Amino acid sequence: MKIDILTLFPDMVEPVINQSILHRAQEDGHVEIRVHDYREYSTDKHRSVDDYPYGGGAGMVLRVEPVVRALRDLDRKRNALRILMTPQGIPYSQARAKTLAKNDRIIILCGHYEGYDERIRDYFDVEISIGDYILTGGEIAAMVVVDSLVRLLPGVLNNEASAEEDSFSEGLLEYPHYTRPRVFEGKAVPDVLLSGDHGKIEVWRKEQALSRTKKRRPDLYERYLKRRKDK
């Protein structure tokens, strides 16, 4: 997979993509991540990419020209999936991550200022939001998307089962985990995990995932039951 990130603040992005799993995935050739400062595509001497909104109002608006120039330079054949990070977008989810991870090429635009010139939307395929709140810019949101995609790529995780067992992979929260010591301040590891009976362990984990989801995220639990019923 190839991922191009368009941002006004490369220094916010590069430290993240050069750490941990993202760094290793790039070194191993599973993904190529490139960061571009789209201020470079501005044509005025001040390299400005924003302007005052028509009709008045607070804040500045991201101009359409620098963004489109960047897209056309990076995606001449129009074969990349273009993602616009915006709080107005489709809510992000694990299911959405799995769908996006099937693409070979992705371009992500990180917005800034008060918002986008509305015409920018015409040049993107999907708009994504990571939650109902406002961030200073789209860089942090873009890193959430990139991290969630890369870990789904074949060969990235040392244990391929990890991605399948994560919270939300089946529409449920993940079951509890334990490691040594066996007892800590009177709190013991459940006996079933020490039994060596993998069948019982699997049943226990599924029960725990269902119970935890029902208690903490009843909305996910109801959605899970509905999908089961539909099947």
- Does residue 155 form part of some domain? no
Q: What are the tokens at 172?
A: 């449920």
Is 28 marked active-site? no
* pLDDT over threshold 80, residue 167: no
Q: Is the CB of residue 5 less than 8 Å from the CB of residue 13?
A: yes
Residues 139 and 39 both lie in one domain:
yes
Average model confidence (pLDDT) for the chain? 94
Query: 110 and 8, same structural domain?
Result: yes
Integer Cα distance of 194 and 201 in angstroms = 9
Distance CA 222, CA 149 (A): 26
Instruction: Give this prediction's pTM.
Output: 0.88
Give the structural domain span for 70: 2-150
Confidence (pLDDT) at 158: 79
Number of domains in the chain: 2
CATH of residue 6: 3.40.1280.10
Task: Give the pLDDT score at 164.
Answer: 63
Which residue type occupies 49? V
Catalytic, 166? Answer: yes
168 pLDDT band (50/70/90 cuts)? confident
Q: Does an H or E element contain 86, and which?
A: strand 81-91
Q: Which residue in the list 87, 127, 165, 212 is annotated as catalytic?
A: 87
Q: Is 159 within the bounds of a domain? A: no
Residue 118 bears catalytic tag: no
Which of 37, 117, 166, 170 is the catalytic position? 166
pLDDT digits (tens, 9 = 90+) for 174-215: 999 999 999 999 999 999 999 999 999 999 999 999 999 999
Mean pLDDT, rounded, for 94-106:
97
Residue 144: Cβ-neighbour burial (10 angstroms; 0-12, 13-18, 19+): middle
Q: Would you call 27 a catalytic residue per the annotation?
A: no
Residue 33's beta-bridge partner residues?
A: 3
Note whether residue 162 is domain-resident.
no
| Other Cβ atoms within 10 Å of 194 Cβ, number | 12
Assign residue 215 the CATH number of its domain.
1.10.1270.20
Q: Do 139 and 181 lie in a common domain?
A: no
Give the active site residue among 4, 63, 66, 151: 151
